Amino acid sequence: MPRWFFWILWTGLVLEPGAVRGQAPQRNAPRGYSIRLYVEQGQQLKGELLAVTQDTLWLLTDAEIRPLRLESISQVQVRYPGIRRSHLMRWSVIGGGVTGIALTGACMSVSEGCVGVFALSMGLWLVAGGVAALFTHPPHLWVVPDSQALVPYARFPQGLPPSMRPSGH
């Protein structure tokens, strides 16, 4: 194959589509953390934490923006985005298996005593995945239902913009 073909392929893989069109790549809109609330009446609510004021928490549920009095909330669970421990371990098993099979096949094409290559590869991947999983934060955090403790998790930490407030609030 001609050398220019590989340069074109490499250029297409490296450059982002936005850079090719002369536009900046699109970014995701900022969002607040996903939370689960437990209200004193035993009701459970889920949604995105929009804002927190001294006495009110603004929650975006599937249907509406709901103002909730902080004193009526008994517990708040903040869910972290990102990779989970189970994902790390799953990918460690997959990576170890694929690498072990590939290395065992490559080794067996040259030598006969390659039985331990698969076990060694799998073991190394599992140790690396296990160590990474130990240092991964838990998928959720319990936060005291207090305005100062919840502000860092809100989409609008400075308060809900007036244009988003439901009528009457």
The mean of the pLDDT values for the chain is: 80
List pLDDT tens digits, range 111-154.
888 889 999 999 999 999 989 888 877 777 777 777 788 888 88
Q: Which residue ranges make up each domain of the chain? A: 34-80+138-164, 85-134
Q: What is the pLDDT of residue 124?
A: 94
Task: Mark 109-118 as b/e (b = at least 16 C-beta within 10 Å).
Answer: eeeeeeeebb
Angle, helix 115-134 to helix 85-108, in steps of 10 degrees: 160
Distance set, CA 2 to CA 5, 6, 13, 84 (Å): 6, 7, 18, 44
Q: How would CATH label the architecture of 34-80+138-164?
A: Roll (2.30)
